[in-house]
Structure 1
Amino acid sequence: MNNVELSVLMCTYNSEKYISETIESILNQTFSDFEFIIVDDGSTDDTEAIIKKFKDSRIKYYKLPENLGIGKASNYGLEKVKGKYIARADSDDIYYKNRFEKQKKFLDKNIDFYVVGSLSEYFCSNEDNERYKYCKNYIEKQNNSILTEKDMHEKLYWYCCLINSSIMARTEVIKKFGYGDFRIGEDYKLFYELNKRGYKITNINEILCKIRVSDKSVCSTNTLEVYRVLYEIKKEEIKNLFKSDNRKVYIWGAGGLGKNLYNIFKQDGFEISGFVDGSEQKWNTEIFNMTVKSPYKVISSSKNIKVIVASEPGRFSIAKYLKGMKYNNLIDYLVF
């Protein structure tokens, strides 16, 4: 397998419950000429034994001596990749049989594109799971609305709208930049950097991946660690937003995200002048000794203030409203 066309890279940690189903969906792809690199990030359950039950020469298994986190494990795996293209996989997701075939054909034909993802659907064994309902009702719909390179370019500045386990990419460019050495957000760091540097990215307009929501899923996790990583990734754009002129900066979103961003900005010396929120129930309430106001009274087409959008469910509708008020992405507003 010296001239392998495709390398599949999957990192795993304590994935004994679902990894067998994932591996089967990869080995049964209609495009079969690939090496399958599995990096075990220090699992302590039966993950290793399950992987070794698969007697397939395409599988190359590596186990790290301790849990280093997904970012470092991914970069370790990149060192082993030999294929022209690299396809990422997560150890609890399921892939349609023609995923690799369709994505490889796209990259073969469109030499000016460097990364291609696909539409996806979230699934869960317990559909009453609140995290699943959040991902299904908000994240899935938002991600699956991004169908062009232009849309992808804009939205990647907003959030990680490209699902890492859905991508196929040109190996040379992924190796050139590598993943962030984070335990969360490592993929967004890579995609954000590629997007800023003008590498063309898009989605195939077809569902090719099923993304599992489990107790370990992070698609709706709202923690200070997540926000700090997002802040570090977007730091250059944040600095530009604050320093380009003397307009005041407001946060649109009086929930947990908005409050955490306020504290992060404050720690780095960036001044937030106020909060607005689309929910009438929050108007005239107090946050950090500031009165939450209606955005429809504060924001005008004269662009007298700048806006940081701090609402995951509402980011698309808020950005649409701001565009209608002649606001420009990264100049007059920034989406988290």
Structure 2
Amino acid sequence: MPEVSIITPMYNSSKFLQETVQSVLNQTFTDWEWLITDDFSKDNSVEIIENLKDARIKLFVAEKNGGAGHARNISLKNATGKYITFLDADDVWEPNFLEEMVSFMKKENAELAYSNYARCDENLNPKIEDFKADKNVTFHNLLKTCRLSLLSSMYDSESVGKEYFPEGSKREDHVMWLNLLKKIPVGKPLAKTMAKYRMHPNSISRKKTNIMKDQYLVYKDYMGFSTLKSSYYTAYWAINGFLKYSKLFN
């Protein structure tokens, strides 16, 4: 079994897919499997992956479009690695991402870890300052802001089991991390910039006002909080979300 399983959802991703592929193939750590689930793409994304001649890359094709959470869950069900990490089909890693993360996990005896990542435009030029992994993450502080990004995090599935994404929520990553941190006391920070995140102009994650209701449901429906408590954490999340993207490069 490989030591690391990389989980990737793919949907009409051909524009940036080659760069993502190269960032995985360039990894200095090579004991990995890459599980890609295509979410019923209409472009040539599947063809690009099928043309890769690497036995470590495993492609699954969904029978219908079910969203990124559904696609990730298909890959997760088939993952066999000790460590689980995620990479969307338009983001990229630094060549030593896996090596650094696995080494850090072992050194710190961590069940969950995350690193800095660069926040870039579509051409991977810096857009705002790097997101900093500068504090331990717990269930309670993750309620106020989601510090964990899929592309720069890793957890030990051998220790805590696999954590699946809720299908139907537009905030499925936050719900998944919260559920995982019910089982893990703390996620540890690696203060190195190890990945590049593409900030698309129309990205749903940037339109905070459009997803206030979805974030409220994270607390109300998925965490089972009261209306008052859910409203409190939604307000906190909104303020932190604004601050997260407020410091522009000069």
User: TM-score normalized by structure 1?
Assistant: 0.64
1:105 counterpart = 2:90: no
Amino acid at match of 1:147: D
Which residue of structure 2 aligns with residue 119 of structure 1? 116
Shift of 1:109: 2.3
SS class of match (1:44): coil
Which residue of structure 2 aligns with residue 313 of structure 1? 242
Map residues 318-333 of structure 1 onto 2, 5 A cutoff. Answer: none
SS class of match (1:103): helix
* CA distance in 1: counterparts of 2:229 and 2:146, whole angstroms: 23
SS class of match (1:219): helix
Deviations 1:180-233 (A, max 9, x none): 213531111011122244432122100000001224533312354x22332122
Shift of 1:153: 5.1
Shift of 1:51: 1.4
SS class of match (2:180): helix
Shift of 1:42: 0.8
Aligned length: 243
Runs in 1 of length 4+ with deviation above 6 angstroms? none
Shift of 1:58: 1.0
Task: Please list every run of 5 or more consecutive structure 1 residues that lacks an aligned counterpart in the other structure.
Answer: 244-248, 253-260, 262-306, 318-336
Cα distance change on mapping 1:28 and 1:196 into 2, 3 Å: same
Cα distance change on mapping 1:79 and 1:51 into 2, 3 Å: same
Amino acid at match of 1:52: E
Identity, % of aligned positions: 28
Which residue of structure 1 aligns with residue 135 of structure 2? 148
Which residue of structure 1 aligns with residue 20 of structure 2? 22
* CA distance in 1: counterparts of 2:229 and 2:141, whole angstroms: 21
SS class of match (2:15): coil
Cα distance change on mapping 1:42 and 1:215 into 2, 3 Å: farther
Deviations 1:35-67 (A, max 9, x none): 111111111111111112221111111111211
Q: Is the 8 A contact 2:83 2:156 kept in 1?
A: yes
1:233 counterpart = 2:218: yes
* CA distance in 2: counterparts of 1:85 and 1:126, whole angstroms: 30
- What is the root-mean-square deviation of aligned Cα atoms in Å? 3.1
Shift of 1:177: 3.1
Determine which structure has more spread, i.e. the larger CA radius of gyration. 1
* CA distance in 2: counterparts of 1:32 and 1:309, whole angstroms: 37
Task: Please list every run of 5 or more consecutive structure 2 residues that lacks an aligned counterpart in the other structure.
Answer: none
Which residue of structure 1 aligns with residue 83 of structure 2? 85
- Point out which structure has higher relative CO (alpha carbons under 8 A, 6+ apart): 2
Which of residues 179, 182, 186 is equivalent to 1:193?
179
* CA distance in 1: counterparts of 2:124 and 2:57, whole angstroms: 33
Shift of 1:314: 4.4
